[in-house]
């Protein structure tokens, strides 16, 4: 555990079961995702496929999946622990939190009993790797503008369209596709349909996109050309519920991003402190300069405030009270703070901060996307402004 932020965790995160779980997740990451392993993910632009199965064996998939659905019976705190440990240890290129805390919940929240039985056990073992495909080349922020269709044909659906920027896109074989089941009906004609891609004719993966950061995570184009999907694959069983389901789940996705942002910036502060304590200039350490102390005092303050706000949001979410506006505030403000503080911390490394081999360089690059995905920070402000 990093101890760069002194403010104690809220009581609900200090329960013994949660702290013990945190220690065991930390050990798992040390064993399966040490820094040299993360470097190989970056070199290959993806994690090894078997890492998903290993995570399944360790019980890390489906952490908050209800016990009655075969899950671990944990709750959102367990997902928080996983996200924080991955961030603290620099292993957050592994897209496990997307699988656990974004994709799988659509099934246990809205899936029919038959869908839960068909998919959840395989999402739990890593046999299925999850992704969610909303964004298209022509529609990102304006999700209502998507063109992908899932049109009824006999007992099933035929899916056509292109998606882009899809996280886990090279390895995922369980893809929740946002598609129009009734293109004339706008938001009400949108559904979430699962495409199991193993052996799916007409499904193609495009490029594993070359990114400026988060390089160890696969992000892809996906193409659907007359892909036949069983009628039972519409999440919830009925057409037209896609937008409502997305709107209900996006607050958790946005809180996830904020939590990941704080954890990554905490790691940045820990790395920066270690660096400025040993780097010498003008016969002193860099930390001896008052400018460095003031900058790091600002960073520590900002990260403390960010963490406390995230903790507040986690508390609300555990009670089922996290609304879309508050989650948007967390996503936009915390990721802005993440970018701002990591920029300051890179500066304190001088030229070494610009070298890829230094963790601060990776953290700086990785932070940039946080203000873009999950809804851009501008869209977060649009949502907040509606509440004024
Ligand atoms: C690494 C990475 C991973 C991703 N993973 C996924 C994933 O797993 N699944 C998925 O579906 N998508 C994913 N995305 C896509 C991401 O969610 C979109 O890129 C994002 O929503 C923005 O959409 P866009 O890129 O089309 O930008 P656009 O919507 O074209 O926006 C361009 C600019 O215009 C601004 N803008 C747009 N509308 C407004 C408005 N109303 N008011 C003010 N400003 C506005 C935006 O804020 C932005 O600055 C990922 C993206 C990246 C980079």
**pLDDT given for residue 73 in this prediction:** 86
What does the block give as tokens for 163?
Answer: 């998606």
Place of tokens 């890593």: 126
Q: Percent of the chain scored above 70 by pLDDT?
A: 99
345 and 283 fall within a common domain: yes
193 and 250 fall within a common domain: no
222 and 134 fall within a common domain: yes
276 and 374 fall within a common domain: yes
In a mutational test of the pocket of ligand 1, which residue from 170, 208, 367, 372 has the highest number of ligand atoms less than 8 Å from its CB?
372
291 and 362 fall within a common domain: yes
Please state the atom number of ligand 1 nearest to the C-alpha of residue 139.
Answer: 26
Q: Is 50 exceeded by the pLDDT of residue 1? A: no
- What is the spatial distance between Cα 217 and Cα 211, in angstroms, rounded to a whole number? 9
Mean pLDDT of the chain: 97
277 and 354 fall within a common domain: yes
Q: What is the pLDDT of residues 100-132, one digit of tens each?
A: 999 999 999 999 999 999 999 999 999 999 999
- What is the spatial distance between Cα 372 and Cα 156, in angstroms, rounded to a whole number? 35
Which residue range(s) make up the domain with 229?
130-240
Q: What is the pLDDT of residues 224-258, one digit of tens each?
A: 999 999 999 999 999 999 999 999 999 999 999 99
Count Cα atoms within 13 angstroms, Cβ side, for 32: 24
Please give the model's pTM, rounded to 2 decimal places: 0.98
- What is the spatial distance between Cα 84 and Cα 104, in angstroms, rounded to a whole number? 19
Cβ neighbours of residue 88 closer than 8 Å, sequence gap 6 or more: 1, 2, 26, 263, 266, 267, 270
How many whole angstroms from 112 Cα to the centroid of ligand 1? Answer: 31
In a mutational test of the pocket of ligand 1, which residue from 45, 176, 242, 376 has the highest number of ligand atoms less than 8 Å from its CB?
376
What does the block give as tokens for 281?
Answer: 């200039």
Q: 10: which DSSP letter?
A: P
Q: Percent of the chain scored above 90 by pLDDT?
A: 96
**pLDDT given for residue 2 in this prediction:** 62
Q: Note whether residue 2 is domain-resident.
A: no
Does the C-beta of 376 come closer than 6 Å to ligand 1?
yes
Question: Which residue stretches of the chain are H helix?
Answer: 11-14, 16-32, 35-44, 49-57, 76-88, 96-98, 104-110, 113-125, 242-278, 290-318, 324-347, 359-368, 377-385
* Residue among 215, 221, 239, 253 flagged as catalytic: 253
Does the C-beta of 74 come closer than 6 Å to ligand 1?
no
What does the block give as tokens for 200?
Answer: 């799916």
268 and 313 fall within a common domain: yes
15 labelled catalytic: no
What CATH code is carried by the domain that includes residue 45? 1.10.540.10
**pLDDT given for residue 240 in this prediction:** 97
Does the C-beta of 167 come closer than 6 Å to ligand 1?
yes
Residue owning the nearest CA to atom 32 of ligand 1: 141
């Amino acid at each position: 555990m990093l101890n760069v932020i002194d403010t104690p965790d809220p009581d609900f995160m200090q329960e013994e079961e949660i702290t013990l779980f945190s220690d065991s997740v930390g050990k798992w990451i040390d064993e399966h995702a040490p820094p040299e392993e993360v470097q190989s993910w970056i070199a290959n632009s993806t994690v090894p496929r078997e890492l998903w199965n290993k995570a399944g064996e360790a019980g890390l998939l489906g952490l908050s999946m209800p016990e009655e659905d075969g899950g671990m019976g944990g709750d959102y705190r367990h997902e928080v622990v996983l996200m924080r440990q991955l961030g603290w240890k620099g292993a957050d290129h592994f897209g496990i939190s997307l699988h656990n805390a974004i994709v799988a919940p659509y099934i246990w929240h809205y899936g029919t009993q038959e869908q839960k039985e068909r998919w959840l056990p395989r999402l739990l073992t890593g046999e299925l790797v999850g992704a969610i495909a909303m964004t298209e080349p022509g529609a990102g922020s304006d999700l209502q503008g998507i063109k992908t269709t899932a049109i009824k044909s006999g007992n099933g659906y035929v899916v056509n369209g292109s998606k882009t920027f899809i996280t886990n896109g090279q390895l995922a074989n369980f893809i929740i596709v946002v598609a129009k089941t009734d293109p004339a009906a706008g938001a009400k004609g949108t559904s979430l349909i699962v495409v199991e891609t193993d052996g799916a004719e007409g499904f193609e993966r495009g490029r594993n996109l070359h990114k400026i950061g988060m390089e160890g995570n696969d992000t892809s184009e996906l193409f659907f050309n007359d892909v036949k999907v069983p009628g039972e694959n519409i999440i919830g069983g009925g057409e037209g519920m896609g937008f409502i389901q997305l709107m209900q789940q996006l607050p958790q996705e946005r809180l996830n991003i904020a939590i990941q942002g704080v954890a990554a910036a905490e790691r940045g502060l820990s790395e920066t402190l270690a660096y400025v304590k040993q780097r010498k200039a003008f016969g002193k350490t860099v930390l001896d300069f008052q400018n460095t102390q003031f900058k790091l005092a600002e960073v520590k303050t900002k990260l403390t405030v960010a963490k406390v706000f995230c903790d507040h949001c986690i508390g609300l979410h555990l009670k089922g009270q996290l609304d879309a506006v508050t989650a948007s505030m967390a996503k936009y403000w915390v990721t802005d703070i993440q970018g701002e503080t990591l920029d300051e911390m890179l500066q304190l490394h001088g030229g070494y901060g610009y070298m890829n081999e230094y963790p601060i360089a990776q953290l700086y690059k990785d932070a940039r996307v946080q203000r873009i995905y999950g809804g851009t920070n501008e869209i977060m402000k649009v949502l907040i402004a509606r509440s004024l």
